[in-house]
Each structure stands twice: as C-alpha cells, then as structure tokens.
Structure 1
Amino acid sequence: MPDFTIHGVHLTVPDRILRPRIAARLAAGAYEQFEAAAAARCITSGARVLELGAGIGFVSCICARGAGAENLVSVEANPHMRDVIRANLDANGHQAATLLHGAVGAAGAAETVTFRCAPAFWASAIADGSGRGEEVAVPVLRLADLFAAYRPNVVVMDIEGGEAALFDAPWPDHVEAVLMELHPEAYPAAMIGRIFDCLLRSGLVYAPDLSRSAVVGFRRVRE
C-alpha cells in the first residue's frame, strides 16, 4: 500500500481506492491543501471539533493535531473507508479520536439512507440515481443530535453535496467556526445563498482568511 507524508501527516492509502489523479496530488502535497491549511489556522488546543466527511483521514489528523485527539469526532458515511481513516489516525498518534459511521442528516430524516460508494472514494455520496458504485444502506446521524452530544466549537465539513440538507435552521451558539467545501455542481446556486444566510442568522460571518476557491470559512462574531 502506498505511503505519503503531507505536512507531517503520514498516510497509507490502499491500492484499491487509489487513482492516478489523487496519487499525484498526495505525492505533491496538494491533496485537500486549502481545507487543511484553514483547519490548521483556526483550530486551537482544546477546541471541540466535529468533522463531517473524513475521506482518508488527512484533515482528521490536522484537526486532531491542533485540538488534541480526544477533542475530535469524525463522521464518515462510506463503510469502506472506516478502517483506512482509523489506521491513519492511529499511525499519527491520534488513537483518542472518535470515529463514527453514518451519513449526516437534518431533523426528520429517515433512519437510514442509500449511499453510493464510488470507485473513486472522494466521489462517494448519498445516492441520487447518477454515478457508478456499490449502493449500501448507512445509518443517518442527525446534525442536531451530534451538536447536542458533542457541543463542537469547530465544524469541518466535506460531504459531497450532502451539506444542502443541513442549513434549514440556525446553528447553535457553541459553534465558533465552520470550515466547509461547497459543491455547487450538486445543487442550484441559490442553495449557496441559503447556506450563507443560515450561518449569518446564526452569528457566523464569512471569513476571507479561511476561504479559498470552494473551501469557505465562517467565524462567530460576538458583540
């Protein structure tokens, strides 16, 4: 299995999920570079971090290194990625991090959802009738329940368009910062406006220093 080191994070990626384009980005140190840089900038020791969409565990390790592994809860829907994420967290000394399996949903969501495990792991998402890959039922973890259980200060999110369901109600006051990758190919442009409006109503404003391209950051403004 190929090994990579990016910003001091050691990653092992099984051949079965590695594709040439991602292998090249990993080898060049460019994989998830904007999201990782923003996470490193805004996550401080002791912050409680909720990561939605853990991928191979690279940004998870950045979060754990900044906050302390015991303060990180990572959620991943793809069942084939759980062992990869756990192994990469453990290999980097973050055994205390919590890893949950499930797709994040809003209040009123069904108990399970059909998830498409694409041949390219980063393209996996809630099934919508398009794309290739095995379709499996995964449990739904409601965002409000995650907020209540873990009371995160920072939310890091990359869930391939699943974010569109999570901005119908204001977010709680204990969330001080949000880092997320938008997926405008997955929803109409008006949805991006709804995301920004919801976070603004929640007291979280756009943070240019945490934002680049489709990765956008928000910080809480307190009077």
Structure 2
Amino acid sequence: MLVQDPQDIVAEFEGLKIPKSRFVGPQLARQISKGNYEKPERKLAVKLTREGDHVVEMGAGIGFVGGFTASQKPRLQLLSFEANPELIPHTEKLYDINGLGDRAKVENKLLTANPDRPDSITFHIHNSFLGSSVYKVGKPENPKIEIPTVAWTQVKADFRPDVIIMDIEGAELDFLTHADLDGIRAVVFEAHPNRYGQEGLAACLAALRSKGMRQTHHRMQVYAFVAEGVEAPH
C-alpha cells in the first residue's frame, strides 16, 4: 500500500480514497464525496455481495464501484475489466492506496460471452470516460482503438465468480444474450437504452429471466437480478 500525500487525494467516501487524476475534476470529486456518484449501482453492489465472494466487474471506470464494494467486504475478491487503457493506472492506484491491491485486479480487456468472439473489438473513446463504448459515440474524429477480448467461459472457469457488476455502455445486451450464468448468484447492471432502445432493454431483462434469474431491484437505469432460490436483501 502506497504512503499517500494528502494532496494527491481529491475525494473520499466512507473511507475510500480517490486519487488525483485528470479523470476526476472538481464536480465529480464533489459527487463522490457526497455519495451521489453511481449511487444506485454502488448501493446494490454492496447489498448483493457477500463476504468472501468472487466478483467480476465489467466497466471499472475510475475503479469507484468495484473498489468501494471490495472495501466494504474485507475478504471479497475483485476482478475488473476496463476497455479504456488510460483509466487502468488510475484504477490500479485507487486499489493500491486503499489497501486492495492483493485482492483487486483490473485488466485492459473486453470480456465477451459471444461464441464468435473476435481477438479484439473496436472501442470508441468519448471526451468523457463515462461515455466511451463499443458503440460509435461522439464526433467522427474521436479516437477509436482495438482492445483485446477475453472469453467469459475462461474467466468463469478460472475465477469462479459469484456476482457480476456491469456498466459497459450498451455492451451488456450482447453479453447477457450469450452468457452462461449457471453458478452466478447475482447480477447488477446499468442499462443503456440510449444505445439499443427499449427493445434492447427488454431483451436484456428477458435474457436474464431465461437463465433462471429474477429481478429484485430497479433504481433509475440500474437493475439487480438474483438466481432463483436466492433471498435478496431489501
């Protein structure tokens, strides 16, 4: 764990320190400190995870949701995936300064369940990291990069996750359509109907139900599902 200069910390929420970076401006720092940033996703992730869980996070962003969840469960193991390579050092630093480095890891890969998985997928960089996506976003001249993929079947076999947390700007539709969720106790995901419409949202929810999951929570665009037979906290 790094010994941190207090000036390198731009925000803190319930003990989780957020390191200084160009991705966390004053407005975002205030939202984090007040508990307003990613509030539904954060609260549901903590509510539905258990001590000792293995959690896969898709779309780590600045590392806040996964990092906060891990900080609340001292034996939780976190494996995060983030497509934007520029965010990886920030997320790794967040894990490190909060003492999570031995049980939280982030990889610069796109996790996909599609059986026709390509070696890489084009990822479109938005001016804000919050909007970057496999969908075309922003101006045509905005950068796009190729990001290596990793198969869900491989991650599922090697890491044996209990819970999935997902905020991947529309790519959840493809993942939920194809993913084998046997053994997964809970899924928390942010929907993006602006990417795929209400029909796509309905397809996401239907896919989860078809795989033996039932909806327990819905807050704004964040949904939570648990496996049949699992009692979800209110």
Normalised by the length of structure 1, the TM-score is 0.90
2:134 is matched with 126
**What 5-or-longer segments of structure 1 have no aligned partner?**
none
Alignment partner of 1:171 is 2:180: yes
Alpha-carbon distance in 2 for matches of 1:137, 1:150: 25
Alignment partner of 1:217 is 2:219: no
Alpha-carbon distance in 2 for matches of 1:68, 1:190: 39
What's the CA shift for 1:51?
A: 0.4
Alpha-carbon distance in 2 for matches of 1:206, 1:104: 23
2:43 aligned counterpart, secondary structure: helix
From 49, 53, 63, the counterpart of 2:59: 53
- Closer/same/farther in 2, CA of residues 84 and 24 from structure 1, 3 Å limit: same
Q: Give % identity.
A: 26
Alignment partner of 1:43 is 2:43: no
Alpha-carbon distance in 2 for matches of 1:65, 1:151: 20
- Closer/same/farther in 2, CA of residues 26 and 206 from structure 1, 3 Å limit: same
What's the CA shift for 1:87?
A: 0.2
Alpha-carbon distance in 2 for matches of 1:66, 1:29: 15
- Closer/same/farther in 2, CA of residues 83 and 69 from structure 1, 3 Å limit: farther
- Closer/same/farther in 2, CA of residues 169 and 114 from structure 1, 3 Å limit: closer
Q: Say if 2:52 and 2:75, in contact at 8 Å, map to a contact too.
A: no
Across the aligned residues of Structure 1 and Structure 2, the Cα RMSD in angstroms comes to 2.0
Alpha-carbon distance in 1 for matches of 2:91, 2:165: 16
Within-5 A mapping of 1:57-76: 57-68=63-74, 71-76=77-82
**What 5-or-longer segments of structure 2 have no aligned partner?**
1-7
Alpha-carbon distance in 2 for matches of 1:13, 1:212: 29
1:166 aligned counterpart, secondary structure: helix
Alpha-carbon distance in 1 for matches of 2:115, 2:72: 30
Normalised by the length of structure 2, the TM-score is 0.86
Within-5 A mapping of 1:183-202: 183-202=192-211
Alpha-carbon distance in 2 for matches of 1:189, 1:127: 16
From 116, 124, 131, the counterpart of 1:116: 124
Q: Say if 1:171 and 1:199, in contact at 8 Å, map to a contact too.
A: no
Q: Say if 1:13 and 1:56, in contact at 8 Å, map to a contact too.
A: no
- Closer/same/farther in 2, CA of residues 94 and 129 from structure 1, 3 Å limit: closer
From 2, 6, 16, the counterpart of 1:9: 16
| Code of the aligned partner of 2:130 | W
2:115 is matched with 107
The count of corresponding residues between Structure 1 and Structure 2 is 220
